[in-house]
Amino acid sequence: MSINRRPINGRDTNPIGLGCMSLSWAYGGRPSEEDGIRLLQHAVDIGYDHFDTARLYGLGHNETQVGTALKGRRNKVFLASKMGIFASGDKRGIDCHPDTIRSELEVSLKLLQVDHIDLYYMHRRDFSVPIEDSVGAMADLVKEGKIGAIGLSEMSADTLRRAAAVHPIAAMQTEYSLWTRQAEIAVLDACRELGTTFVAFSPVGRGVLAGGVDDPAALEEKDIRRAMPRFMGDNWPKNHALIQRFNAIAAREGVTPAQLSLGWVLSRGDHIVAIPGTGKIAHLEENIARWDWEIPATLAAEVDALINQQTVAGHRYAGVMLPTIDTEDFA
């Protein structure tokens, strides 16, 4: 059996899109410029038609690289970017004031070398600005033809409903995988109710559900996972044991761990798409190779029972990050 392509703002896309972040930031060293552009162009060649980037990723590097890679290919890709998070050294902040939204969009358009972005997100909730004001500013950009649709990232069901009362929200992007389930509290249902596509980032659990992490101590010094509770202390041995059992199930079923992870995510609703990221062409090809595979219900239930909010040890973020997240959380 197979699954169908899925719409974002009325445009049918492959349910496996490409998160571009790791080409520029977060997981240690990044590929060379040439290799990054080659990966992005190869992605289009093999069927990726949804690219997700952001101003934050490499502080403009990622948008610049995506823009270069899409020259002559722009019409083949549903292009999404985000604004709102600022970073300078160890300092981070969030700014979704209307004037900032407009000025940040102009920078993104320039770096991406386009005059229109299909989907533009608020990367995080700015609690100093009413969500209605931020969405109103983005709605003006839709009217002007500079963006095609509005997205939100890591926000709650209540915030989504408030935003949707001002303007339709095309997408909600939130971390979601077998080992990160906060979206199941309320956001997945709210998205279905409002006709909002749910975009799952980190659908292979920061790489652990893709066979990508065996020993966190071996990760590069600047890899953000080194500071995440699930990769630290007593939590990691417990989580690693779950991962080893998960990998064995994937081998038994004749799929890779990443393909099993993605199959489970897509089985959670026909309004869900996933955007795994990678800096390696082999993983790029692996992630999309079984895009139309419909995971059997019994297999989905088996891995769901193995890895879930109750069995995983540690929170997904360290305490310093939690105040920036608007998504509902478990007690």
CA angle 176, 219, 280 (to 5 degrees): 65
Place of tokens 């081998």: 251
DSSP state at residue 75: G
User: What's the length of the chain?
Assistant: 331
Integer Cα distance of 64 and 237 in angstroms: 39
Place of tokens 């699930």: 230
Integer Cα distance of 313 and 301 in angstroms: 20
Neighbours of 75 (CB within 10 A): 6
Going 161 to 163 to 164 to 169, the CA torsion angle's sign is negative
Task: Say if CB 182 and CB 175 are below 8 A apart.
Answer: yes
Q: Distances in Å between the alpha carbon of 54 and those of 85, 111, 155?
A: 9, 11, 17
Token output for 160: 């989504």
Rounded CA Rg of the chain? 19
Catalytic residue among 27, 57, 120, 121: 57
Alpha carbon of residue 90 to chain centroid: 23
Integer Cα distance of 32 and 92 in angstroms: 26
Q: What are phi and psi of 274, to 5 degrees?
A: -125, 145
Alpha-helical segments (H) within 70-176: 98-112, 131-143, 157-164
Integer Cα distance of 28 and 258 in angstroms: 20
Clarify whether 317 is annotated catalytic: no
Helix, coil or strand: residue 194: helix
| Residues recognised as catalytic | 57
